[in-house]
Structure 1
Amino acid sequence: MRQILCLLPLAFVAVLAVRHWPVLAEGFAKLPAAEPGWLLAAGSTTCLAWVAAACTRQGAVVERLPAFRLLATQFAAGAANHMLPTGLGAGAVNLRFMTVCGLPLARSSAALALYMLAEALGRITLLAALLVAFPGALRLGTLLPGGALESLLVVTVAVVCVLVTVLLLVRRLRTAVRDFLRTALGEARSVHARPARALALWGGSLAFPALQAAGLVAVGRALELPVPPMHMALAYLAATVAVALVPTPGGLGSVEAALVVALVAAGGPAAVATAVVVAYRIITVWLPLLPGALTLGALVRFKVL
């Protein structure tokens, strides 16, 4: 069974590449025309984003995790994240890694929830700061046109009401949630009692989306997208916050569409914006996907996961 699990990521990459071959071919065709220095910068920020993710994961737990294996796990989690929707792949990989490192399942789950909260708050904080600094940079109405924002709010409120109702009616579920919240709050207090852990948690949660946005800016400069760098970063953050509500594996399809719309809303020509997004996803998703799958298989093979 373990050998089968080692081969599953490679099979998934092959299927994914066949399904998206036209996009891959188009993206690789555009890369030779780009400025190589800026493409190298985009690749560097992608690598640094894995380091930032590892710092945030370490900051979410009091115990010291093995640094090299933690970093390798973040690299492998990027590949796993394209197998399940909305970050579930990366969450499952990191949850398994923490339990193998000796953390109880309840504390590992609490650390995972703390990481997800910190990453979301970091991304929203950067987005809010850029919106305040550049209020006219992005026409937000173009991201959710035709009353879509109102519909999204109605659906969100309805889902929250349903969850609260179920929570109130099912006693066993209510007890489990209460126990989880108690564990999560205890873990958060323990982490914030150590300044080094708190700095790693919140510093990494801010650095991670900032580095991802910097990668898009670098690709935009490489392909001469006529949009100011900070406006491109704002477009990236707005698009990724919007697609967080779309449950697609790794954001494939939804991220590309939202990024193109956001870059056009920031003032970029549609053709150049599309080229930038395709090249950016090639560098940040497709090029690391095969080595990430190999790393994931190796971690499973050697029982790190």
Structure 2
Amino acid sequence: MSSVSESPSLSAPPGTAPQAPGRPPALPAARRVRLVLCLAALLPAAGWAVADRPVLHEGVRRLVAADPWWLLAGAGLTCLNCVAAACVRQGALPDRLPPGLLLASQFAAGAANHVLPGGLGAHAVTLRFLWGRGVPAGRATASIGLYSLARSGAKSVVLLVFLAASPAWRRLGEPVPDGRLLVPVAAVAGGAVAVAGVLLTVVRPLRRPVSGLLRSALADAREVHTRPSRVIALWGGAVAMPLVQGTALACVGAALGLGLSWAQVVLAHLAAGTAVGAVPAPGGLAVDAVLVWTLVAFGSAPAPATATVIGCRVLTDWVPLVPGSLTLSALIRAKVL
């Protein structure tokens, strides 16, 4: 009686291709995709290091010679900014999120922010995190909108308070965009709003998802503002973020001998971000250039102002980039993202 030997195709696990004898088994498709995503999270750090070697070298050189205690304070404030961002994310959503994973996702979002401009990388990581926690896509997207609205609104309030309290605002004439430039910018913004309104009116398939998203956003916003803990997390974190970022810049300036007060540095940070946000310009480089200009307008010498901006960029962006990328890879590997 002849025995029938099992073929490789019959003994192979489902979903994997049959393997030749003596060869290691191939990775399943899902594991290959996760491995590629984990490695891809590290590519922005390597690519940015190769592209901006002179900036990185100059910033590191000046930071090595700076006061280490002020730099340590700036590094601590950089970590505190992630805590403030996590508070705003939690405050923008009625659902309770796991604090540890939420904080880790915001640390990873900082690394993803270097891949996509305008905060899209951080929003994409947060959306994926919320979907993994069971939050529906519409409500997760609505929380992103509330987060952005709270951040911009709180930053505007903080800027107005500093302008009212500090006499240094009189020196901000040059960094503020020219009124002739604001007219076309306002026209483009108004045209975009008008086009969106026409599309929603004419294209009926768009009306239903957009109206559903708006209803979900309004319902979540109302529920969030009925809970004192969510209100404190949302608006307290939104107010803290620009103050923490400006204070980190002030710490780097103190380490490098900038010669400006804390209020002047924070006001320069707020004014530079607002001025760049009013015109269509690339984010990072434009903010750095206007920030140097603003610090010089407040009375700093050009050399320490430039060194402060470069050093702050290295401390707040470059230093957290590699651990942030590793955190992003770990969250993807753990299927949190």
Q: TM > 0.5 between the two?
A: yes
> In 1, distance between residues paired with 2:184 and 2:167?
26
The residue number in structure 2 matching 1:25 is: 57
Q: Which amino acid aligns with 1:186?
A: A
Structure 1 alignment gaps of length 5 or more? none
Q: Secondary structure at the match of 2:96?
A: coil
User: Among 194, 197, 218, which residue is 2:251 paired with?
Assistant: 218
The residue number in structure 2 matching 1:238 is: 271
Q: Which amino acid aligns with 1:201?
A: L
Of 84-93 and 134-143, the range deviating more from structure 2: 134-143
Cα distance per residue 1:184-233 (max 9 Å; x no partner)? 11110010111101110000001111100100011111111121210110
The residue number in structure 2 matching 1:209 is: 242
> In 1, distance between residues paired with 2:209 and 2:194?
14
Residue 2 (structure 1) aligned with residue 34 (structure 2): yes
Cα distance per residue 1:30-55 (max 9 Å; x no partner)? 01221111111111111111111111
Shift in Å, 1:247: 6.0
The residue number in structure 1 matching 2:132 is: 100
Shift in Å, 1:138: 5.3
> In 2, distance between residues paired with 1:63 and 1:276?
40
Q: Which amino acid aligns with 1:22?
A: P
CA contact 1:167–1:174 (8 Å) conserved in 2: no
The residue number in structure 2 matching 1:180 is: 213
Of 239-248 and 11-20, the range deviating more from structure 2: 239-248
Shift in Å, 1:135: 3.6
CA contact 2:87–2:237 (8 Å) conserved in 1: yes
Shift in Å, 1:165: 2.9
The residue number in structure 1 matching 2:77 is: 45
CA contact 2:87–2:233 (8 Å) conserved in 1: yes
- Alignment coverage as a number of residue pairs: 301
Structure 2 vs 1, CA of residues 301 and 138 (structure 1 numbering), >3 Å: closer, same or farther?
farther
Structure 2 vs 1, CA of residues 115 and 162 (structure 1 numbering), >3 Å: closer, same or farther?
closer
The residue number in structure 1 matching 2:153 is: 121
Q: Which amino acid aligns with 1:191?
A: V
The residue number in structure 1 matching 2:229 is: 196
CA contact 1:30–1:275 (8 Å) conserved in 2: yes
Residues 115-154 of structure 1 aligned to structure 2 (within 5 Å): 115-137=147-169, 139-144=171-176, 147=178, 149-154=179-184
The residue number in structure 2 matching 1:290 is: 322
> In 2, distance between residues paired with 1:293 and 1:13?
8
Shift in Å, 1:253: 1.6
> In 1, distance between residues paired with 2:211 and 2:144?
17
> In 1, distance between residues paired with 2:281 and 2:327?
25
> In 2, distance between residues paired with 1:175 and 1:156?
29
The residue number in structure 2 matching 1:164 is: 194
Q: Which amino acid aligns with 1:192?
A: H
Q: Secondary structure at the match of 1:253?
A: helix
Q: Secondary structure at the match of 2:250?
A: helix
Q: Which amino acid aligns with 1:177?
A: V
Cα distance per residue 1:9-31 (max 9 Å; x no partner)? 21121111100000000001101
> In 2, distance between residues paired with 1:255 and 1:82?
15
Q: Which amino acid aligns with 1:68?
A: G
CA contact 1:232–1:263 (8 Å) conserved in 2: yes
Shift in Å, 1:150: 2.7
> In 1, distance between residues paired with 2:187 and 2:36?
42
Q: Which amino acid aligns with 2:284?
A: L
Larger RCO, structure (CA 8 Å, separation 6 or more): 1
Q: Which amino acid aligns with 2:210?
A: V
User: Among 281, 287, 290, which residue is 1:255 paired with?
Assistant: 287
> In 2, distance between residues paired with 1:237 and 1:166?
30
> In 2, distance between residues paired with 1:190 and 1:182?
12
